[in-house]
A = this chain, B = another copy of it.
Amino acid sequence: MLAQYDLSALKNEMRREELSGRPATMWRYHELLPVRTPQSVQSLGEGMTPLLPAPRLAPKGLKQTAQVFVKDEGQNPTGSFKARGMSAAVSRAFELGVRGVITPTAGNAGAAMSAYAARAGLPAYVTAPEDAPQACIKQAHLYGAEVELLAGLISDAGRLATERAIQRGLFNVATLREPYRVEGKKTMGLELAEQLGWRLPTAIIYPAGGGTGVVGMWKAFSELYSLGWLTESPLPRMIVVQAEGCAPLVQAWNQGSTEATPWPSDQATTQAAGLRVPSAIGDRLILQAIRESAGTALSVSDEEMKQMVHYAAQQEGMLISLEAAATLAAYHRLLANNSLSADDEVVLFFTGSGLADLGLPG
């Protein structure tokens, strides 16, 4: 279930140059977003995060030449890319006149939904595994959400959210259960094309839990071609990274499958809470995007992520989450095994800030 727009009409009505004077949020692309009335938009300034050249993120010896860029999603409100999807979904829910919103969460999504619900003046309800990061739960609480913790994984929280949504008459914004969040995430792809001067990089490395960021960007590129805003640029290789302790998409990719078998719940272990997602609901779409783009999927260890948190901070002054650091670990791995070379233009999606992790021990 994905939103469709009348792109041929828009193609006649609008030129991409009109964007340049618009506000620096994802709502600059409002013609491509599922909210009809401007007054329904619930914005905290999300989107148009910086695209930063970051050559020193490359391994030693390649720092002079590496064509590596960072899309710094940690500068979004609530500290992660989740703000985009929730700004879109809560805005549309508000426009539809819902009574309140609910989501299951492994971490940042619950906090982001709660923030936008507060902004909209709507009640918020969050279901989460009891081992979800304390900081995320506390953040959702601060925004005034009701939070229900349960023994289990994000998939169990998903079932509980479905139940509670029916019982309480709440609009469920669980990943890909509604068509709006992915539209918000799509703007990462729109911005990337605009920020690069209407072309795309050689490769994109993205950390996939639910993986709808990849689905969204893939949809964005398709829409940009339909609009004629992208023309000659080939599509980027879509590279998905997961945690060794929970890698259903990587397993499916390695087996040549078109869909992913859920990771056994009791074996889903990684400290990167956003990657502790045993079953990506957009699995087919994600695997299709990887296949069509000659991309790949790989997993990295928690230890590698932690090392890369330090590396990004020391090399380029960027404080990132474990999930974001997974992309940097993947970049180093793919350079080492010659799947990428230093002169490939690669964009790492640093999906979340490391600020909220400063309170953790160690």
Residues of A participating in the B interface, judged by any CB pair closer than 8 Å: 20-21, 24-25, 43-45, 48-50, 52, 56, 72, 75-79, 114-119, 121, 134-135, 138-139, 142-144, 309-310, 313-319, 353-360
Query: In whole angstroms, how far apart are the Cα atoms of A56 and B119 in the complex?
Result: 9
Bound CA–CA A355/B76 (angstroms): 12
Contact of A139 among B121, B142, B319 (CB under 8 A): B319
Report yes or no: B313 in contact with A144, Cβ–Cβ below 8 A.
yes
Task: Indicate if the CB atoms of B317 and A119 lie closer than 8 Å.
Answer: yes
Q: Check A45–B72 contact: CB distance below 8 A.
A: yes
Q: A44-B50, A50-B25, A317-B44 are in contact. Are A358 and B138 (CB under 8 A)?
A: yes
Copies of this polypeptide in the complex: 2
Residue contact A50 to B56, C-beta cutoff 8 Å: no
23 A-B pairs in the complex with CB atoms less than 8 angstroms apart:
A20-B20, A21-B21, A24-B24, A24-B48, A44-B50, A44-B318, A45-B49, A45-B52, A45-B72, A72-B77, A75-B76, A77-B318, A79-B355, A114-B317, A115-B313, A118-B314, A142-B309, A142-B319, A356-B356, A356-B359, A358-B359, A359-B359, A359-B360
A118 to chain B: closest residue by CB: B317
Across the interface, do A52 and B48 meet the contact criterion of CB distance under 8 Å?
no
Residues of B within 8 A of A76 (CB): 75
Q: Return A66 CB to nearest CB of chain B, in Å.
A: 14
A144 — which chain B residues lie within 8 A by C-beta? 313-314
For residue A318, which residues in chain B have a CB less than 8 angstroms away from its CB?
44, 77, 115
Cα–Cα, bound, A39→B356 (Å): 32
A88 to chain B, nearest CB (A): 15
A83 to B52, CA, bound (A): 15
Known contacts A20-B21, A77-B317, A78-B319; 18 further A-B pairs (Cβ under 8 A): A20-B20, A21-B21, A24-B48, A45-B49, A45-B72, A45-B75, A75-B76, A78-B317, A115-B313, A117-B317, A118-B316, A135-B355, A135-B359, A138-B358, A143-B313, A143-B317, A355-B355, A356-B358
From A77, which residue of chain B is reached at the shortest CB distance? Answer: B75
- Given A21-B21, A72-B44, A313-B144, residue A121 in contact with residue B56 (CB < 8 A): yes
B residues in contact with A357, CB < 8 Å? 359
Q: How far is the CA of A110 from the CA of B117 in the complex (A)?
A: 34
Q: Which residues of B contact A309 (CB under 8 A)?
A: 142
CB distance from A325 to the nearest CB of B (A): 12
A44 in contact with B52 given A118-B317, A319-B115, A358-B359 (CB within 8 Å): yes
User: Which residues of chain B are within 8 angstroms of A49 by Cβ–Cβ distance?
Assistant: 45
Across-interface contacts of A117 in B (CB, < 8 A):
317
A119 (CB) vs chain B CBs: closest residue: B317
* Chain B residue nearest in CB terms to A114: B317
Which residues of B sit under 8 angstroms from A358, Cβ to Cβ?
134-135, 138-139, 356, 359
Contact A118 B313 (CB under 8 A): yes
Complex Cα spacing A117 to B314, Å: 9
Chain B residues whose CB sits within 8 angstroms of the CB of A72 once the complex forms: 44-45, 77
Chain B residue at minimum C-beta to C-beta distance from A315: B118
A90: nearest chain-B partner, CB-CB: B317
Min distance, Cβ A35 to any Cβ of chain B, angstroms: 17
- A314 proximity list for chain B (CB < 8 A): 118, 142-144
Which residues of B lie under 8 Å from residue A24 when comparing CB positions?
24, 48
